């Protein structure tokens, strides 16, 4: 037998539940612009019917509904899209960082422009030609010496700038690992909180959101895999549990977060905090991956961290030194070395104004092999341009002989075996061309992975983000349901009024 006030109780539940839904709508609206927020939904469910099932339960037609309750408040999210998002974000992280590194290199190399190495070489060549035609002219000599110095300066400047940026990339790697460590610790901390809350039957939606945000950030740095473990207790079926984070490698993935256990990552050989010339890899400490090592060769080619390393330079499996910046520096060194050597050779075959054999025109600052950073014009010649060996005379001073100056000019265009059969000028053009091709590829990849990420992100937003129109519609729905439940109570009130005040007064 149902109770007299059952209708009131049913309507009251309706009021409460619609109110919860209204509050959640308010929460959604409030967080419409919160980054990483997923909209929430009150999962309403009808309460169990009357009478309850049992031996002593009375019999009556069917079950009589007893109203509604808020079963759970769930955030709307699709873990598959999260997975996709993170894998695209890793790719974008790689290419964005790479195109950035290449753009910086393009900036300092400054080709094509009127200030690049190419122009200074061209100016140098012109001055040598002028000297060849006017070997007796002191002005032409001085110009050659200064233009030669300009070429050396260009080499020095480019090399120095490139190595400075390389240093910055090293700092970025350092910073990247610190960020990764901080993210891992935070994820571990959130796991801990989630594991405390869930067994009590709650769904900590805001903690899930925070954790997903951290995972998104982490994924742009390194490629990750995630899996979840249930926390047990009275945790709701839709509770997410704790996340296990693994860093993908070319072999087995390395577990870095498991429940509350967190590993930290450190760059190999950096006790003093300064990076070595070339990286070899990372070591993990603490947590599930304690003592494990990740060499650069085993790193998957995605994520900002790997991109920075690819730019900065590392030692590969065969002990080769690889990397965008070191490659450029090696090429510049090679070019400077071959150019200076050939130029000196020709210069030393000539004779100067006094009929003495030519000195080396270029000298290495540190008196070793020529490098882009050490190449400089011989001070003796700089002080006395008459020591320029413009003449090819073998018998003595010939002021009007400029044949060797012409030969010096030809050094720019002579094929050189050491430069893969190219000329000095050709080799440099190739270096620039190759840089351009790599830059172009990086930009294209950045664009395409950016577009993909945007479309995945749109898909995610389509599922999880707050639509104000939708919330307004919901608001009206819940408000009307709330009003209707209240009206239902009025009806009950009137019915009870009838029972209490209007019944049993027959004949009065």
Tell me which residues in 437-456 interact with other proteins (CB under 8 A). 437-440, 442-443, 454
Contact (Cβ atoms closer than 8 angstroms) between residue 121 and residue 424: yes
Least CB distance from residue 188 to other proteins, whole Å? 30
Least CB distance from residue 205 to other proteins, whole Å? 18
Q: Which residue has 């172009």 as its token pair?
A: 440
- Assigned token pair, 479: 């408000």
d(CA 182, CA 217): 11
Near other proteins by CB under 8 A: residue from 103, 274, 491, 500 = 103
Does residue number 404 form part of the binding site for other proteins (CB under 8 A)?
no
Least CB distance from residue 66 to other proteins, whole Å? 33
For other proteins, the closer CB: 148 or 287 = 148
Least CB distance from residue 469 to other proteins, whole Å? 4
For other proteins, the closer CB: 28 or 244 = 28
Look at residues 223, 221, 242 and name the one whose alpha carbon lies nearest to residue 231.
242
Return the range that interacts with other proteins (CB under 8 A); candidates 112-120, 234-242, 381-389, 488-496.
112-120
Q: Burial of 421 by CB count in 10 Å (0-12 exposed, 13-18 middle, 19+ buried)?
A: exposed
d(CA 442, CA 99): 5
For other proteins, the closer CB: 52 or 436 = 436
CA angle 401-403-406, nearest 5°?
A: 135
Return the range that interacts with other proteins (CB under 8 A); candidates 210-218, 329-337, 369-377, 432-440.
432-440
For other proteins, the closer CB: 164 or 354 = 354
What mask of x and - would describe binding to other proteins in positions 380 to 399, judged by CB under 8 A?
-----------x-x-xx-xx
For other proteins, the closer CB: 125 or 362 = 125
What mask of x and - would describe binding to other proteins in positions 81 to 100, judged by CB under 8 A?
------------------x-
- Assigned token pair, 195: 């594991």
DSSP assignment, residue 411? Answer: T
| Bridge partners of residue 42, in order along the sequence | 73
Q: Which residue has 């002028």 as its token pair?
A: 130
The Cα diameter of the chain in Å comes to 154
- Assigned token pair, 237: 């079926």
Does residue number 102 form part of the binding site for other proteins (CB under 8 A)?
yes
Which residues contact residue 476 at a Cβ distance below 8 angstroms, ignoring those fewer than 6 apart? Answer: none
Q: Which residue has 């995605």 as its token pair?
A: 302
Tell me which residues in 353-372 interact with other proteins (CB under 8 A). none
Least CB distance from residue 143 to other proteins, whole Å? 13
d(CA 422, CA 425): 8
For other proteins, the closer CB: 45 or 434 = 434
Q: Burial of 501 by CB count in 10 Å (0-12 exposed, 13-18 middle, 19+ buried)?
A: exposed
Does residue number 56 form part of the binding site for other proteins (CB under 8 A)?
no
Does residue number 227 form part of the binding site for other proteins (CB under 8 A)?
no
How many residues of this chain bind other proteins (CB under 8 A)? 66
For other proteins, the closer CB: 69 or 106 = 106
DSSP assignment, residue 249? Answer: B
Does residue number 136 form part of the binding site for other proteins (CB under 8 A)?
yes
For other proteins, the closer CB: 435 or 492 = 435
Does residue number 30 form part of the binding site for other proteins (CB under 8 A)?
no
Which residues contact residue 93 at a Cβ distance below 8 angstroms, ignoring those fewer than 6 apart? Answer: 219, 220, 221, 302, 303, 304, 307
User: Residue ranges of the alpha helices (H) in 350-410?
Assistant: 379-383, 403-410
For other proteins, the closer CB: 231 or 422 = 422
For 229, phi then psi, to 5°, come to -120, 135
Per-position b or e across 338-351, b if 16+ CB within 10 A of its CB: bbbbbbbebbeebb
For other proteins, the closer CB: 18 or 99 = 99
Near other proteins by CB under 8 A: residue from 48, 473, 480, 483 = 473
d(CA 53, CA 63): 10
Least CB distance from residue 197 to other proteins, whole Å? 28
**H/E element holding 495?**
helix 468-497
Does residue number 48 form part of the binding site for other proteins (CB under 8 A)?
no
Does residue number 349 form part of the binding site for other proteins (CB under 8 A)?
no
Near other proteins by CB under 8 A: residue from 50, 94, 125, 157 = 125
Does residue number 430 form part of the binding site for other proteins (CB under 8 A)?
yes
Helices (H) and strands (E) in the chain, counts: 11, 13
Question: Which residue ranges make up the site for other proteins (CB under 8 A)?
Answer: 32-33, 99, 102-103, 106-107, 109, 111-112, 118-119, 122-123, 125-126, 129-130, 132-137, 391, 393, 395-396, 398-403, 406, 425, 428-430, 432-440, 442-443, 454, 457-459, 461-463, 465-470, 472-473, 476
């Amino acid at each position: 037998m149902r109770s007299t006030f059952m209708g009131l109780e049913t309507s009251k539940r309706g009021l409460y539940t619609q109110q919860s839904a209204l509050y959640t709508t308010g929460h959604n609206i409030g967080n419409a612009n919160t980054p990483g927020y997923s909209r929430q939904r009150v999962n309403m469910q009808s309460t169990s019917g009357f009478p309850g099932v049992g031996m002593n339960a009375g019999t009556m037609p069917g079950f009589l509904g007893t109203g509604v309750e808020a079963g759970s408040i769930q955030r709307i999210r699709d873990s598959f899209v999260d997975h996709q998002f993170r894998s695209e974000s890793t790719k974008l992280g790689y290419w964005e960082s790479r195109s950035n590194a290449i753009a910086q290199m393009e900036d300092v190399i400054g080709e094509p422009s009127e200030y690049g190495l190419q122009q200074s070489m061209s100016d140098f060549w012109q001055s040598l030609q002028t000297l060849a035609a006017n070997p007796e002219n002191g002005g032409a000599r001085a110009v050659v010496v200064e233009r030669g110095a300009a070429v050396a300066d260009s080499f020095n400047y480019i090399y120095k700038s490139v190595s400075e940026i390389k240093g910055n990339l090293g700092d970025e790697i350092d910073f990247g690992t610190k960020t990764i460590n901080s993210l891992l610790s935070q994820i571990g901390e959130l796991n801990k909180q989630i594991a405390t809350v869930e067994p009590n039957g709650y769904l900590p939606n805001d903690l899930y959101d925070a954790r997903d945000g951290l995972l998104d950030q982490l994924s742009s740095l390194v490629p990750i895999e995630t899996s979840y473990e249930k926390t047990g207790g009275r945790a709701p079926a839709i509770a997410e549990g704790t996340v296990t984070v693994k860093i993908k490698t070319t072999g087995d993935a390395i577990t870095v977060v498991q429940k509350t256990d967190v590993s930290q990552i450190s760059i190999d050989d950096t006790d003093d905090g300064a990076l070595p010339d070339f990286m070899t890899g990372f070591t993990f400490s603490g947590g599930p991956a304690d003592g494990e090592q990740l060499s650069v060769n085993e790193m998957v080619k995605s994520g900002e961290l790997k991109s920075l390393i690819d730019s900065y330079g590392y030692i590969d499996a065969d002990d080769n030194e690889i990397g965008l910046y070191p490659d450029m520096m090696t090429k510049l060194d090679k070019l400077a070395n071959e150019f200076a050597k050939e130029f000196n050779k020709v210069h030393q075959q000539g004779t100067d104004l006094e009929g003495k054999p030519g000195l080396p025109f270029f000298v290495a600052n540190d008196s070793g092999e020529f490098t882009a950073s050490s190449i400089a014009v011989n001070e003796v010649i700089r002080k006395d341009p008459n020591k320029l060996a413009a003449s090819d005379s073998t018998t003595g001073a010939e002021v009007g002989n400029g044949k060797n100056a012409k030969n010096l000019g030809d050094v720019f265009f002579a094929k050189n075996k050491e430069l893969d059969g190219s000329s000095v000028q050709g080799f440099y053009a190739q270096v620039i061309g190759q840089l351009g091709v790599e830059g172009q590829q990086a930009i294209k990849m950045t664009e395409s992975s950016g577009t993909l990420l945007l479309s995945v992100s749109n898909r995610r937003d389509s599922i999880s983000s707050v639509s104000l129109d939708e919330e307004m519609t919901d608001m009206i729905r819940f408000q009307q349901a709330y009003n209707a439940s209240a009206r239902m109570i009025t009806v009950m009130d009137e019915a009870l009024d009838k029972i209490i005040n209007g019944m049993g007064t027959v004949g009065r």
